[in-house]
């Protein structure tokens, strides 16, 4: 066999094939950086690809919901004689379902005279069981088998409750003191070995120079650690990367910056780097940042650590370990100085740690940080209120009224008439005329007519229009020129758009489904492409089928209100620059006084009514609070009593799914949490000075993916500071 193989290859080809095989092995056995998905080099065999081309696909990243950045490099052993255009398709799915998951197609051009070309592709991760990435390559329209392969991804499905963490730095940190996270997530199953970061599928390490410049590349993450020195260097030398990290935090992430100093002298620099406004009234060394309390330490952190140690001891024999995988730290006393402080950054937050190198630290302090600071942002599912590949019982609470629901009473009437007419009445008439043999023809004809009547009634009742119900919350900081948006979109399409949905590149899009769409019970492929935006081309939305998505977006913004106060503070005039009509506005001026106005369009000015007396203030704030409560998610009237949170399954749409559930509460999401806190602040008169709340028409930044929608039952709220 070896002789036959030598006879079929020229010596140069044999050497090239061996070289490629060695390179492939080296690529796949390079030191792991954590996460899942080892790099692969194609071709993997001895047969070289046309023109000696090879591709290296690096998809190593954290497995979870969000986007996975995949780097594709095309390399040539010598400068290319001609320009080669490679069409590559990447598909992410599970082994049992080749047609499920998400796939995308793109082209990479290797110019003549070049030896390499690269591209970063972002692929949505919508299902935790997905554990392979398929690569298919064509050259000048012809498939290239040598450049086709599969990358295996370690299945992290059993570790949904462990936060996804990114550690940025020159060296890999010691994460052994995070072992309590694995015990809490899966106390009686096989443990993750936290002695090596590369063994934890939800942790990943990156050198600062390896970071990418799009915030959605980090959308899968829950917590990111970076030193103040590295943050300073990134902001100076790679500002687009630092902007991506801070944008990720603004969309709900927790950015931990360590090395601030025991005297907290670095907090001022952290504020500058992250554009957190300085608290002019703060006089202490913490500059107005929040610090952990004794109650959080004694009532939350200590009991949680003790429980983790007890579970570790109880399951020690089950896992066959000679020593417990985790033990209680020797010192359970609260430190004299707070080891961390935190501040809000729009929808997310920044945590400052005093230590220059907090790793490994001790588990008690890490537990203290996670229980004090991170909730409700600890996990992706709780931040955005959806589990893309599991049942979401609150789906039916955000349907669009009067469309999409089967007309039960009309169906009952039509079916009753059909049964009477096709049976007794039809029989009586045919028997009276002596033509019972026609029974064989009248029954199917009547059935066809009845079915057509039911279908026609549905078409006439719902029509062919496309409907939208939306709910959004925007935080707008005019001082920093930054805005963050979260939204929930509910669609009912009379006819699905032929080109699917299109969203901007800076928008994270995730489905919210009643039952999962990417598992072994249901087979549906989704096509996705990047071309001046995200194009959800096929499998994302269907005609006459309720569909919901959650979106998150952040960007620099010049939107806002121009506020002019009279010298005595009695008059307040504003100019609307929010890019949409204001329906109602409450404003708190620098002196803490409240002002109110009704509807006025974008670009216009309005004079606000000063709420000087108690009665006027109470009436205005009560009415505004009621407006903030309108169109809250709830079951349609026709469905009341037919479903319950215990039944993920269903009334009219989908079916019950008996899979693993990731427990989430819709009210904990950034969207509902933000709306509830805003409503409570208005009602309790606790809005801060120079703050306003506006109920508006849908802002331009809340993109729906398609035009021509009829929008009803929506609520859009902007909480801004100027």
Residue 32 maps to which CATH number? 2.60.40.10
In a domain, 130, yes or no: yes
Q: Are residues 81 and 190 in the same domain?
A: no
Q: Are residues 7 and 125 in the same domain?
A: yes
Q: Are residues 148 and 229 in the same domain?
A: no
Give residue for tokens 């930054």. 482
Q: Are residues 178 and 316 in the same domain?
A: yes
Q: Are residues 442 and 574 in the same domain?
A: no
Instruction: List, in order, residues 6 or more apart from 169 with CB less than 8 Å away.
Output: 205, 207, 208, 225, 226, 227, 230
Distance CA 391, CA 517 (A): 10
* pLDDT tens digits along 679-697: 999 999 999 999 999 999 9
Q: Are 302 and 332 in contact (CB under 8 A)?
A: yes
Q: Are residues 18 and 134 in the same domain?
A: yes
3-state helix, strand, coil in the chain (%, to 5): 30, 30, 40
- Two structure tokens written together for 97: 């379902």
Q: Are residues 676 and 589 in the same domain?
A: yes
In a domain, 537, yes or no: no
Q: Are residues 76 and 194 in the same domain?
A: no
Q: E strand or H helix at 383, and its extent?
A: helix 380-384
In a domain, 657, yes or no: no
Beta-bridged to residue 406, according to DSSP, are none
**The pLDDT value given to residue 188:** 53
Distance CA 128, CA 65 (A): 7
Distance CA 24, CA 17 (A): 10
Instruction: List, in order, residues 6 or more apart from 26 with CB less than 8 Å away.
Output: 41
pTM higher than 0.95 = no
**The pLDDT value given to residue 641:** 52
Q: Give the count of domains, the chain.
A: 4
Q: Are residues 290 and 415 in the same domain?
A: no
pLDDT along the chain (722 residues), means of 10: 34 42 42 69 88 92 90 94 92 59 89 94 78 87 90 63 92 92 66 82 93 95 97 97 97 96 94 93 90 92 88 69 67 88 96 95 91 81 88 89 69 76 81 81 83 71 83 96 97 90 95 68 70 88 92 95 85 94 96 94 94 92 95 79 46 38 70 95 94 97 94 97 94
What is the domain extent for residue 453? Answer: 408-462
* pLDDT tens digits along 465-503: 899 999 999 999 999 999 999 999 999 998 899 889 999
Q: Are residues 39 and 112 in the same domain?
A: yes
């Amino acid at each position: 066999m070896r002789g036959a193989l030598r006879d079929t290859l020229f010596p140069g080809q044999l050497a090239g094939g061996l070289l490629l095989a060695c390179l492939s092995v080296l690529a796949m056995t390079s030191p792991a950086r954590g996460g899942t998905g080892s790099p692969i080099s194609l071709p993997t065999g001895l047969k070289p690809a046309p023109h000696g081309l090879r591709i290296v696909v690096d998809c190593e990243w954290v497995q979870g919901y969000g986007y996975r950045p995949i780097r594709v490099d095309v390399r040539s052993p010598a400068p290319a004689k001609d320009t080669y255009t490679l069409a590559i398709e990447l598909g992410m799915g599970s082994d049992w379902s080749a047609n499920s998951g998400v796939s995308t197609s793109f082209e990479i051009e290797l110019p003549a005279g070049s030896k390499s070309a690269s591209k970063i592709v972002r692929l949505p991760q919508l299902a935790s069981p997905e554990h392979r990435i398929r690569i298919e390559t064509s050259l000048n329209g012809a498939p290239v088998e040598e450049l086709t392969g599969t990358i295996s991804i370690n299945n992290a499905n059993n570790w949904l409750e462990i936060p996804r963490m990114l550690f940025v730095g020159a060296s890999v940190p010691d994460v052994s003191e995070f072992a309590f996270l694995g015990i809490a997530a899966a106390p009686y199953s096989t443990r993750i070995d936290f002695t090596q970061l590369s063994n934890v599928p939800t942790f990943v390490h990156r050198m600062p120079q390896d970071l990418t410049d799009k915030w959605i590349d980090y959308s899968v993450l829950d917590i990111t650690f970076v030193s103040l020195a590295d943050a300073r260097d990134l902001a100076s030398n790679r500002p687009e990367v630092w902007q991506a990290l801070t944008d990720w935090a603004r969309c709900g992430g927790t950015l931990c910056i360590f090395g601030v100093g025991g005297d907290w002298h670095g907090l001022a620099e952290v504020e500058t780097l992250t554009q957190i406004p300085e608290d002019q009234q703060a006089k202490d060394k913490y500059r107005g940042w929040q610090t952990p309390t004794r109650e959080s330490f004694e009532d939350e952190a200590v009991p949680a650590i003790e429980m983790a140690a007890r579970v570790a001891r109880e399951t020690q024999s089950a896992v066959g370990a000679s020593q417990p995988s985790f033990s209680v730290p020797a010192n359970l006393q609260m430190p004299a100085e707070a080891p961390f402080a935190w501040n809000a950054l729009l929808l997310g937050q920044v945590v400052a740690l005093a230590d220059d190198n907090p790793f490994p630290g001790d588990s008690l302090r890490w537990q203290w940080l996670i229980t004090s600071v991170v909730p409700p942002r600890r996990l992706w599912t709780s931040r955005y209120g959806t589990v893309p590949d599991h049942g979401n019982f609150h789906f039916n609470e955000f349907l669009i009224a009067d469309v999409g629901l089967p007309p039960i009473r009309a169906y009952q009437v039509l079916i009753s008439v059909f049964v009477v007419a096709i049976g007794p009445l039809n029989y009586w008439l045919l028997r009276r005329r002596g033509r019972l043999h026609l029974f064989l023809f009248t029954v199917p004809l009547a059935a066809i007519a009845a079915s057509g009547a039911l279908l026609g009634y549905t078409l006439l009742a719902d029509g062919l229009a496309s409907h939208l119900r939306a709910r959004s919350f925007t935080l707008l900081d005019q001082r920093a020129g930054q805005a963050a948006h979260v939204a929930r979109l509910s669609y009912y399409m009379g006819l699905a758009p032929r080109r699917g949905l299109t969203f901007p590149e800076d928008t994270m899009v995730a489905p919210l489904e009643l039952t999962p769409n990417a598992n072994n019970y249901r087979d549906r492929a989704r096509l996705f492409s990047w071309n001046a935006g995200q194009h959800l081309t096929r499998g994302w939305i269907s005609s006459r089928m309720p569909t919901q998505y959650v979106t998150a977006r952040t960007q620099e913004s010049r939107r806002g209100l121009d506020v002019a106060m009279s010298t005595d503070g009695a008059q307040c005039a504003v100019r609307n620059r929010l890019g949409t009509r204001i329906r109602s506005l409450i404003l708190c001026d620098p002196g803490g006084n409240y002002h109110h106005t009704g509807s006025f369009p974008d670009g216009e000015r309005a004079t606000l009514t000063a709420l000087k007396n108690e009665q006027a203030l109470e009436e205005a704030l009560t009415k505004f609070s009621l407006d903030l409560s309108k169109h809250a998610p709830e079951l349609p009237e026709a469905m009341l009593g037919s479903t319950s949170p215990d039944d993920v399954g269903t009334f009219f749409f989908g079916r019950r799914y008996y899979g693993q559930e990731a427990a989430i509460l819709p009210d904990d999401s950034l969207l509902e949490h933000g709306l509830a806190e805003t409503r409570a602040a208005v009602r309790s008169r606790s809005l801060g000075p120079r703050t306003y709340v506006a109920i508006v028409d849908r802002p331009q930044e809340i993109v729906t993916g398609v035009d021509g929608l009829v929008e009803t039952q929506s609520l859009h709220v902007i909480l801004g500071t100027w």
